[in-house]
Amino acid sequence: MADIIQLLPDHVANQIAAGEVVQRPASVVKELLENAIDAGANSIKLIVKDAGKTLVQVIDDGKGMSTTDARLSFERHATSKIRTADDLFLLNTKGFRGEALASIAAIAHVELKTKQEQDEVGTSIEIEGSNVVSQEMVVTPQGTSIAVKNLFFNIPARRNFLKSDTVELRHVIDEFHRVALAHPNISFSLYNNGSETFNLPVSNYRQRIVNIFGNKTNEKLVPVEEETEVLKISGFVGKPEFAKRTRGEQYFFVNNRFIKSAYLNHAISSAYEGLLKNGTHASYFLNLEVDPKTIDINIHPTKTEIKFDDEHTLYALLRSAVKHSLGQFNIAPVLDFDRDANLDTPYHISKDRVNVPKIEVDKGFNPFREEKKSFTSTMSYKKEPTAGWESLYQEIEVKNDNIESDFSDHKFESEVSTGTIFEEDKKIDNGNTTYQLHNKYIVSTIKSGMLVIDQFRAHQRILYEDFLQHITISKAVSQQLLFPLELHFTKQETDIISNLKEELESTGFIFSSILEETMQITGVPVGVPESEVSIILEQLISDIENEVPDSHFSTTDLLAKSMAKSLAIKPGQSILKEEQEHLVNKLFACKEPNVSPTNRTTFITMTVDELDKKFR
């Protein structure tokens, strides 16, 4: 039998590796930005077109590469970061495996220009699908410029899996945020389709957060500082009152590398225990510094997951540090029975010189001397003469001529006995055919048996069809607010709302102004509480950014689904009999009552025969 095992060609192996390293344009952005940081750059510029599908270019002023290094950098497992296997456990750089450029070059058109400081001219290399098209000397400034064009040009199946430009750009910006937050000592800029989206100068960590997420973020931050032999923690957490429904502003950095850790995230959540509303998540921007020997960062292709030697200790330290900061800055209530805050010395007089108080003693004071002063008022008290100290134990008679002892003329207020409008509820009303089960399901009787409705999904379906109709005919009713509602978002979030302004106004929203980071709303749809407006818009922005459920649905459809999900009756909410019956009637008046807007079952039926079988 002939041999059937053979070695794969390099270009095929590179495409396989690209499947792990490059999942979307944001993956290219991450690898190229990390390479620029490893090159010692002080200024990095990121240029994207069509959310990175057409172009991803990173320009830095780092140390650059020689002609040999530039050509060798596109080979598999070529790296300047490690020499031996032991170096894998002492990593202080971003990239180290040598697969990034080789994988990117296998599935795109790549143009590299680089020059070192001591060289007079630089090197230009063009590669298409792992094939070197040209290599020549060029005049270029110090540093490196890598342009990745037409991503997945030779793998159309992978290109078809990419989402819309809005979603892919959101992922690109997320990667840009992660790298920029980890390195406030480097200036970053981002250009999308020729327009400047971010321009982040060199700054401290707090200012970098504010520059990215808006000026309003500054008042939301609480500093966290803790240093032990095992772990050094620095950064900021958000105040509980500014917690969001989404997890967008949650960042962990371990040795300046962004990571995801559900275990450490739980430590933050437990520190906020009792301070957050249900369904909300606190923001945090925390830097953790640990010994490189105690972590393994090569357990995931994207290097966003890290294995710690002692996770339990890190969990305890992180939870304590966050809890201490919340208490220190009076964010969380403190119970301390051994200390009275009223007895604390004010700060402005804590260093003043203490004056010794003067004590004056009345040497002629006699507590047994009879007082001749009498207290006169409408209540007159007559003091009987006393012969001495024995009179202190005698009964004192208090007489008051102004107080009448007869209270017969006085009238006391009493509760008026009124009938209750719910008296009929005491009787069993056989006309009621709906019952709420565990504040989650509505049970109703039908001719064939029993109907069980999921109140959340059913209400979603009702609201979804209502919003679709309002947006289509543009005749939604709006309720005016007494005072304009001002909301604060990031620049990217306000851009999303601006693009949806016409559709939102069709549902009943009225915007008086939409600026770069703020917007004013003077009208909301009927039935929408003012307190829910920010939650609705946050959920809408999150759905648009993540394109729920996928790119095949129109913006109008997505808007109706997002608003229906935000305003629907939540599980655990009790509703009245009349509301239950109204919800049932409205559900079966819908065009598609069987499923929710996300294609989930809204109700089930159980016949009498099926119930009979349960008792056999």
- Summarize pLDDT for 264-322 with one digit per residue, the tens: 999 999 999 888 888 788 999 999 998 888 877 765 666 677 778 888 889 999 999 99
CATH 3.30.230.10 fits 207-328, yes or no: yes
Nearest Cα neighbor of 134 from 165, 164, 110 is 110
CA distances from 593 to 310, 450, 453, 464 (A): 52, 17, 11, 11
Q: What angle do CA 73, 77, 80 make, to 5 degrees?
A: 60
Q: Within 13 Å of residue 116, how many CA atoms lie on the same side as its CB?
A: 8
Sign of CA dihedral 291, 293, 296, 302: positive
Nearest Cα neighbor of 263 from 306, 320, 327 is 306
Give the integer Cα–Cα distance in Å for 7 and 110.
Answer: 26
Give the integer Cα–Cα distance in Å for 332 and 328.
Answer: 8
What parts of the chain have a pLDDT lower than 70? Answer: 1-2, 11, 14-20, 77-98, 298-303, 330-354, 370-432, 474-475, 546-554
Tokens representing 178?
């992660």
The pLDDT of residue 33: 93
User: CATH number of the domain at 10-200, out of 3.40.50.620, 3.40.50.720, 3.30.565.10, 3.40.50.460?
Assistant: 3.30.565.10
Per-residue pLDDT of 219-242, as tens digits, reads 889 999 999 888 899 999 999 888
- Give the domain 435-605 fold: Ribosomal Protein S8; Chain: A, domain 1 (3.30.1370)
The DSSP code for 292 is G
Measure CA 299 to chain center.
Answer: 26
The pLDDT of residue 567: 85
The DSSP code for 46 is E
Fold match flag (10-200 vs 435-605) = no
The pLDDT of residue 425: 38
Domain boundaries along the sequence of the chain:
10-200, 207-328, 435-605
The answer to whether residues 204 and 184 touch, using CB atoms and an 8 Å cutoff, is yes
The pLDDT of residue 366: 79
Give the integer Cα–Cα distance in Å for 560 and 464.
Answer: 5
